[in-house]
């Protein structure tokens, strides 16, 4: 059962795109199992940037098949744009890309309401990417969603779109927005459905067949554990399960099929949007990490909030994901600092906490340990043993505090800027 799950161990943007891209040559099938076009994976291939929101980054490897599974929510326009972008770079997706007929469709009203609500919340905004992901999941759970398969059935689509728009009508009235007409949505989405049709199928059975053939399957998560709907900093979370367990429901496989979970973590921490972030640095150190790490969202361009590594959050991530190992990214960003701080526990009302509490995360005081930094350039290191001594000590300390070993270490954005890359299966 060679299925491997790669998940974000922090607040997303951990560099999952690069790691999945590195592991893909070892995989037969790459499956995106949750989230929507709010996730942006930036890949650097031969010095050129490619940003993918929906299609697994594995698509860049000819010979690898890619699935966008039913746990995701899809904006057909974004998906079709990615397909065109890839063809323009000479990457053909024909016969290699499979899109679930069960995945839910992001409709114009979802994007509109996302923007209207965030505007209304003002300072309390969740900081969504306004791509309609939350409202689409809302409709999915409310059993009034439209699925990709419906786009291929115009009469059924019209019925569903009509009911869906009726359900949103009072909300739009209250928020002062204008709903699109049934006719315009149906006409647009029937057209999009026609263009998507060659890729649409029951992807769970493709994954199943792959498991039966003992092929290697890479299950790619979106966002991060601290943004998971059940385990994250609710309500400042995404609308789906970003944890490894989400791979089962989202891809349509049983837990027994998963043999390994790799959690991706930066060597420091970042967060986009609102919500508690105990180790946030609001001083020059925060600016320094932001600039050195290029911490600006790949989907929205928003500056990311930056801070020291948060071990209590990582500990929880290790537990709820059943993490087998950590892939540590962006170690190079810390180069040049005299010393590094790591939050090893929180203090809340005089109590020491080793993991995030039910509430009060916004009031916890990080308890820091200070470690010496390093000045040597690490971007050329291809083995952990080649890293400066203090960088090695930093990694060892993380392993000790989190209780999970660090496998791979990423020392730069490019594919080859990686230490200790081995076959993950």
Binding site for ligand GDP (CB under 6 A): 8, 13-18, 39-42, 44, 294, 298, 329-330, 332-333, 410-413
Helix/strand/coil for 123: helix
For residue 194 the two structure tokens come to 């026609």
Catalytic site residue 423? no
104, β-bridge pairs: 73, 147
Q: Considering the complex, what minimum distance in angstroms separates the CB of residue 190 from ligand GDP? A: 32
Q: Of 273, 385, 394, 261, which is closest to residue 327 (Cα–Cα)?
A: 261
164 or 240: CB nearest ligand GDP: 240
Helix/strand/coil for 301: coil
252 or 263: CB nearest ligand GDP: 263
Q: Considering the complex, what minimum distance in angstroms separates the CB of residue 104 from ligand GDP? A: 21
40 or 132: CB nearest ligand GDP: 40
Q: Cα 153 from chain centroid?
A: 31
182 or 292: CB nearest ligand GDP: 292
Q: Considering the complex, what minimum distance in angstroms separates the CB of residue 36 from ligand GDP? A: 13
Question: What ranges in 197-258 are assigned the alpha helix state H?
Answer: 203-212, 246-251
For residue 388 the two structure tokens come to 């400066």
Q: Considering the complex, what minimum distance in angstroms separates the CB of residue 87 from ligand GDP? A: 22
Catalytic site residue 283? no
268 or 346: CB nearest ligand GDP: 268
Q: Of 40, 9, 12, which is closest to residue 328 (Cα–Cα)?
A: 9
- Cis before 235 (ω within 30): yes
Q: Considering the complex, what minimum distance in angstroms separates the CB of residue 387 from ligand GDP? A: 12
Helix/strand/coil for 67: strand
CB atoms within 10 A of CB 423: 8
Helix/strand/coil for 168: helix
208 or 415: CB nearest ligand GDP: 415
Q: Considering the complex, what minimum distance in angstroms separates the CB of residue 291 from ligand GDP? A: 11
Q: Of 153, 147, 185, which is closest to residue 166 (Cα–Cα)?
A: 185
260 or 304: CB nearest ligand GDP: 304
Helix/strand/coil for 374: coil
CB atoms within 10 A of CB 145: 22
CA distance 227 to 137: 15
Q: Give whole-number Cα distances, 11 to 233, 238, 274, 396, in Å.
A: 10, 10, 11, 22
Handedness of CA 53, 55, 58, 62 (dihedral sign): negative
Catalytic residue among 41, 104, 110, 231: 41
Q: Considering the complex, what minimum distance in angstroms separates the CB of residue 115 from ligand GDP? A: 22
Q: Which residues are catalytic?
A: 13, 41
């Amino acid at each position: 059962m060679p299925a491997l799950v790669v998940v974000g161990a922090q607040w997303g943007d951990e560099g999952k795109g690069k790691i999945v891209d590195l592991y893909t040559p070892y995989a037969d099938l790459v499956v995106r199992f949750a989230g929507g076009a709010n996730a942006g994976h930036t890949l650097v291939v031969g010095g050129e940037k490619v940003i993918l929101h929906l299609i697994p980054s594995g698509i860049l490897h000819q010979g690898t098949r890619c699935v966008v599974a039913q746990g995701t929510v899809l904006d057909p326009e974004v998906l079709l744009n990615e397909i065109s972008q890839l063809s323009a770079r000479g990457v053909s997706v024909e016969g290699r890309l499979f899109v679930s007929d069960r995945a839910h469709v992001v409709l114009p009203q979802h994007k509109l309401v996302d923007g209207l609500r965030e505007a209304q919340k003002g300072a309390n905004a969740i900081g969504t990417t306004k791509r309609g992901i939350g409202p689409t999941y809302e409709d999915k759970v409310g059993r009034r969603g439209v699925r990709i398969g419906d786009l291929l059935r115009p009469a059924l689509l019209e019925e569903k779109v009509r009911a869906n728009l009726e359900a949103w009508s009072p909300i739009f009235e209250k928020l002062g927005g204008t709903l699109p007409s049934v006719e315009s949505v149906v006409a647009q989405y029937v057209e999009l459905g026609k263009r998507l049709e060659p890729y649409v199928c029951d992807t769970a059975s493709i994954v199943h067949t792959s498991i039966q053939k003992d092929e290697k399957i890479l299950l790619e998560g979106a966002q991060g554990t601290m943004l998971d709907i059940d385990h994250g900093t609710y309500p400042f979370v995404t609308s789906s399960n970003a944890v490894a367990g989400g791979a089962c429901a989202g891809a349509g496989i049983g837990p027994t099929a998963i043999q390994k979970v790799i959690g991706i973590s930066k060597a420091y921490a970042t967060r986009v949007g609102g919500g508690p972030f105990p180790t946030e640095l609001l001083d020059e150190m925060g600016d320094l990490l932001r600039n050195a790490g290029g911490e600006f969202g790949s989907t929205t361009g928003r500056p990311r909030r930056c801070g020291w590594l948060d071990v209590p959050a990582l500990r929880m991530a290790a537990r709820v994901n059943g993490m087998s190992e950590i892939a540590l990214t962006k170690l190079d960003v810390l180069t040049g600092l005299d010393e590094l701080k790591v939050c090893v526990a929180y203090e809340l009302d005089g109590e020491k906490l080793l993991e995030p509490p039910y509430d009060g995360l916004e009031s916890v005081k990080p308890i820091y340990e200070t470690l010496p930094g390093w000045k040597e350039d690490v971007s050329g290191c291809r083995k952990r043993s080649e890293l400066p001594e203090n960088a090695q000590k930093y990694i060892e300390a993380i392993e000790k505090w989190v209780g999970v070993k660090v496998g791979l270490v990423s020392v730069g954005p490019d594919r080859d800027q990686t230490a200790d890359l081995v076959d993950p299966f």
